[in-house]
């Protein structure tokens, strides 16, 4: 007996999820009902207790204060977000310590989720610091994620290996920013194709790596130039290294925050639908609102377009929008 479109929606489109095929068109009313009923969970947020001076853009604030972030959330339809630290000196002159994050999140527990942020060079600037003990301490204080790690160190640097070991032992996922190159702004360092990350995925199978940044998301497709790795490639996606790694390593996740995450989908909606469908349990909505007076990622609109055009099912949409975050952060 042929399944009706309405019963397909209610079933979550399980038949197409297995194959990654294009999804049948949803009834318009059903689409809008799913969108209206689904509030986003932001896996990647930043804010500060007090306004910061302009840093990279001389006329723009780099980060929100908490009240501004809530206002953005209310406009976009975000229920709550993970407040990540920016504790590495390569990044900002200020930012939030873990204690500040805990204090800010305690003031709005229905909107904010705390993280623990510690520079990997802390505890002696060597490969022997007891990060396991520190991460467990903050985990027990309510922190759900470690990061955002922006230190400009190679994945295989002994200091980073010790850091990953402690994070894995504490049972926390780790959000990292991938740099385009060594000594270029901030972020962990790896070569094209992410060979060092692959070794870490093997060495730390219980550590969930949440990948993010231009240089991470450009690996969704094949690319040729350094400018593409440092920026926002355009045009159709020919499958790249990211899908290969995600098929092989269940501890690699995709954090869709910032312009880079949105660009990875918006540049090729057809491939985006297939990618999200195949990895629907490990891709997460995020915003990474920086320079908040100038730019906020249009990712919410991109995901809605993918749903409205039948490229993803309602089930996939809900997982990426919120359900994966709730599960991975043990909030549901």
Question: Which CATH number belongs to the domain containing residue 252 in this structure?
Answer: 3.20.20.140
Contact assessment for residue 294 and residue 13, using Cβ atoms and an 8 Å cutoff: no
Binned at pLDDT 50, 70 and 90, residue 24 comes out as: low
* Residue 207: closest CA among 256, 169, 241: 169
Measured between alpha carbons, how far is 153 from 159 in angstroms, rounded to an integer? 8
Binned at pLDDT 50, 70 and 90, residue 27 comes out as: confident
Q: What is the pLDDT of residues 290-323, one digit of tens each?
A: 888 889 999 999 999 999 999 999 999 999 999 9
* Residue 325: closest CA among 252, 272, 255, 277: 255
Percent of the chain whose predicted confidence (pLDDT) is above 70: 92
Rounded average pLDDT over 269-273 = 98
The pLDDT score that the predictor gives to residue 51 is 86
The pLDDT score that the predictor gives to residue 25 is 61
The domain of 86 spans 5-328
Residue 1 has pLDDT above 50, yes or no: no
* Residue 33: closest CA among 17, 9, 11: 9
Predicted TM-score of the model (pTM): 0.91
Residue 23 has pLDDT above 70, yes or no: no
Rounded average pLDDT over 263-274 = 98
* Residue 211: closest CA among 156, 252, 161: 252
How many domains are contained in the chain?
Answer: 1
Rounded average pLDDT over 132-160 = 98
Measured between alpha carbons, how far is 147 from 71 in angstroms, rounded to an integer? 24
């Amino acid at each position: 007996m042929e399944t009706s479109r309405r019963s397909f929606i209610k079933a979550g489109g399980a038949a197409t999820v297995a194959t990654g095929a294009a999804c049948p068109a949803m009834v318009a009313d059903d689409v809008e009902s799913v969108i209206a009923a689904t509030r986003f969970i932001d896996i990647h947020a930043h804010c500060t207790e007090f306004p910061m001076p302009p840093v990279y853009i001389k006329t723009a604030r780099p980060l929100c204060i908490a009240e501004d972030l809530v206002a953005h959330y209310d406009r976009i339809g975000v229920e709550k977000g993970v407040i990540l630290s920016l504790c590495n000196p390569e990044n900002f002159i200020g930012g939030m310590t873990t204690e500040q994050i805990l204090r800010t999140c305690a003031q709005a527990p229905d909107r904010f989720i705390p993280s623990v942020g510690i520079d990997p060079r802390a505890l002696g600037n060597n490969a022997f610091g007891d990060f396991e003990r520190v991460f467990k301490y903050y985990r027990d204080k309510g922190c759900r994620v470690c990061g955002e790690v922006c230190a400009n160190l190679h994945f295989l640097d002994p200091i980073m290996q010790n850091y990953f070991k402690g994070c894995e032992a504490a049972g926390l996922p780790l959000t990292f920013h991938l740099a385009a190159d060594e000594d270029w702004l901030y972020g962990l360092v790896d070569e094209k194709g992410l060979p060092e990350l692959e070794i870490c995925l093997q060495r730390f199978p219980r550590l969930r790596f949440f990948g993010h940044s231009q240089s991470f998301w450009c690996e969704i497709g094949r690319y040729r130039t350094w400018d593409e790795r440092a920026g926002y490639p355009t045009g159709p996606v020919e499958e790249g290294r990211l899908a290969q790694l995600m098929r092989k390593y269940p501890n690699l996740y995709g954090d869709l925050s910032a312009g880079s995450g949105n660009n990875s989908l918006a540049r090729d909606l057809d491939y985006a639908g297939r990618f999200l469908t195949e990895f629907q349990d490990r891709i997460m909505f995020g915003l990474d609102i920086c320079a908040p007076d100038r730019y906020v990622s249009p990712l919410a609109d991109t995901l809605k377009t993918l749903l409205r055009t039948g490229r993803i099912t309602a089930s996939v949409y809900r997982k990426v929008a919120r359900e994966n975050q709730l599960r991975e952060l043990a909030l549901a």
